[in-house]
Amino acid sequence: MKFSALGQNLSGGSGIESLMDDLGKALSGVVLILYKQQDQLLLQVPLQDYLLNILEFGWPVGPENIAVTPGGQTAFYFLFNLFGGCRADGTPGRILFPLMPEYIGYANQALEPGMFAGVQPGISRTSPHRFKYHVDFKNLDPGVDIAAMCVSRPTNPSGNLISDAELRHLADIAAQRDIPLIIDNAYGWPFPGIVFGEAKPLWTGQTVHVMSLSKFGLPGTRTAFVVAPPEVAAAVSSMMAVTGLANGNFGQAIAGPLIASGEIVRLSREIIRPFYLRKRNAALEAIAEFFPADAPYALHESEGALFLWLWLDGAKKTSRELYEILKKRGVLIVPGEEVAQAF
């Protein structure tokens, strides 16, 4: 795996990183006490140790594989610019999204123009009013300019769930090219677990997982974890030190006990997933009830995350116009054309 010139610069070690590291080591014997309520104390220990407990698939990872960032959004900003952009030898490095549409929040994160590339999905009709995207491997042939691939799983905005076989295939391509496969678990494994289909997590020498506390109900704590090969985790930590010194403690302190006990996984399975499944089902029932049966609409199979992705074939209005109309009625949608134009 090769870093961009900027990535090398930001992650190659710095005085401020050494200082933060030394301060961290000096304080490592000291237990930090946070006051949750007047009469209740929360004890904080490094969350990385807890996190290892719930990487339940026996992955060969240790604390050296984990970096903490202030939310997933920042993690992606670091990762995209660590790998993408001009390399030390002057050649360009680009980030490839193997299955578009992808999370609109990735757009504009590239520090250099032209850093993102996307592949159109294969589409299959699964029933009269349903369809599903697939990775179109026939058209996925990353060239030497591709420095990393990235998928959200489940996908924002389509609700697609890249299958285990597709993920394995992507990981094989990443291994052949020696590039990372970045997997955004914002809605998926191991928390908040808003997955309605079957999906196993995958760890290889190329996978970089990002998991966040946001969709577990703690977006304001700005806490995410990058689980990656040690050199990538170290680079992300360095970038964090250069740009923000250190991470906030509150998210880690709140989630620490839940992660240590495994409760975070149980709560995800028993509370969060069923909650969103009920909402999803109610929305599907409403669509079936109010959309005329012969209308040319199709929904992407809802396999996870928080969204329904609607395809209005031959619509007379653009999705932007529909957005304006629905907004006046208090309904918010993300216009699909904006997702397409953003990248």
Ligand X SMILES: Cc1ncc(COP(=O)(O)O)c(C=O)c1O
Distance CA 9, CA 100 (A): 31
Q: How far is the CB of 30 from ligand X (least distance, A)?
A: 29
Q: Does residue 228 contact residue 61 with C-beta atoms inside 8 Å? A: no
Residues that bind ligand X (CB under 6 A): 71-73, 103, 105, 152, 156, 184, 186, 212, 214, 219, 224
Give least dist CB 224 to ligand X, A.
Answer: 5
**Cβ(186)–Cβ(176) under 8 Å?**
no
H-run or E-run covering 129: none
Query: Residue 17: helix, strand or coil by DSSP?
Result: helix
Toward ligand X, which CB reaches closer, 87 or 149? 149
The full 3-state SS of 211-246, as one line of letters, equals: EECHHHCCHHHCCEEEECCHHHHHHHHHHHHHHHCC
Q: How far is the CB of 10 from ligand X (least distance, A)?
A: 19
User: Shortest gap between Cβ of 100 and ligand X (angstroms)?
Assistant: 13
Closest approach, Cβ 96 to ligand X, in A, equals 16
Q: What is the SS3 string spanning 267-290?
A: HHHHHHHHHHHHHHHHHHHHHHHH
Residue 72 Cβ vs ligand X, minimum distance, rounded to whole Å: 3
Comparison of 175 and 306: residue with beta carbon closer to ligand X: 306
Nearer to ligand X, 13 or 248 (CB): 248
What kind and span of H or E run contains 83? helix 72-83
d(CA 260, CA 50) in angstroms, rounded, equals 5
Nearer to ligand X, 166 or 184 (CB): 184
Cβ proximity to ligand X, 50 vs 76, nearer residue: 76
Between 93 and 304, whose beta carbon lies closer to ligand X? 304
